[in-house]
Chain A
């Protein structure tokens, strides 16, 4: 494959990679991209690294949790909920 043509395909791919991984592309485009990735080692490696980045986000664990809810704060929420129910009934 000529280096120039290869570069152009890679660039086109690069801009659509998230939509490809999210399966948001038309079937035809998706197929084209799949076959390009299969035959292009740098694109395959890059796609895999992007996929793992997304995976890491999905498994994100919070560093910190909020402190336990204060009694009066909870009470305010309970009152707001009860008021909403009462307003809806009236």
Chain B
């Protein structure tokens, strides 16, 4: 099943709006199979909404969105989803292995108890992300980094051809960001999967990214990192002066002062302020 001709994701004249508010419109985009594609932009720019559309959870307001040459639909097994880290209640009756198990067959009907096949698959996935040693620990007691490894294992359970990551490295410290992003990149190289990574922080994945889509203020720009992450391109998107500085291969975006319509780009200020 070689699908080099079929793009993983194809958006044609796509637009999305909630009532009066248009998040983006006339978006044409093709993401090739095997590509590492980052979707960037400040909060509220519609990047997570784009991801939800790919997952088939919301429909577009106009245009078309095809995943592997078929219309986007809910529960597509070709898609693996790595969410943002969120704490679990410490009382949740769920161990690390159970969380991964949900990725294997949690969507199926029936109790599905005592399945040896699932057990083996879960062990294999835990091993793959280096989580075997805390397999039986309640998820509520795991650190954010440990939880995100499990999230990757959970997403890989269906051997997806597309991996959608939604701020998957947010609130992890630098070491865990690297460890988790390495797991994602390893899977991409090994399986030829496409990665679509939604983030407002490109630096943790900068070494792996092929192309980016930057969304801001209802405008967007797609291209290589070098093309998009420039003072000129981002200033045009934000409609305000935004400085992009590259330091040691990492990008620092410094927004204009508040009140100039670019308050959102403070999202990138963290490098500058550190």
A and B are interacting partners: no
Give A residues with C-beta under 8 Å from B: none
Give B residues with C-beta under 8 Å from A: none
